[in-house]
């Protein structure tokens, strides 16, 4: 390191970071809630883009 140059700290590899070594939280499956979340997301899109944008054209 020369004078006037800031020191560069090395970051640990991703495998050594705490987030990478922590176990993932347990997620429970819930089809009913998943459907509701999808419908909530789809409603504004359908209202904005309309039916024509939601159908597949051959």
pLDDT tens per residue, range 22-57: 788 887 889 999 999 999 988 888 888 887 777 766
Q: How far apart are CA 23 and CA 28, in angstroms?
A: 15
pTM more than 0.75:
no
3-state DSSP assignment of residue 10: coil
Structure tokens at 6: 């800031």
Q: How far apart are CA 38 and CA 30, in angstroms?
A: 12
């Amino acid at each position: 390191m020369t004078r006037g140059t800031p020191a560069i700290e090395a970051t640990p590899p991703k495998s050594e970071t705490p987030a990478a070594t922590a176990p993932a939280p347990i997620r429970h499956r819930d089809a009913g809630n998943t459907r509701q979340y999808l419908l909530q997301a789809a409603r504004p899109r359908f209202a904005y883009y309309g039916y024509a944008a939601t159908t597949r054209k051959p």
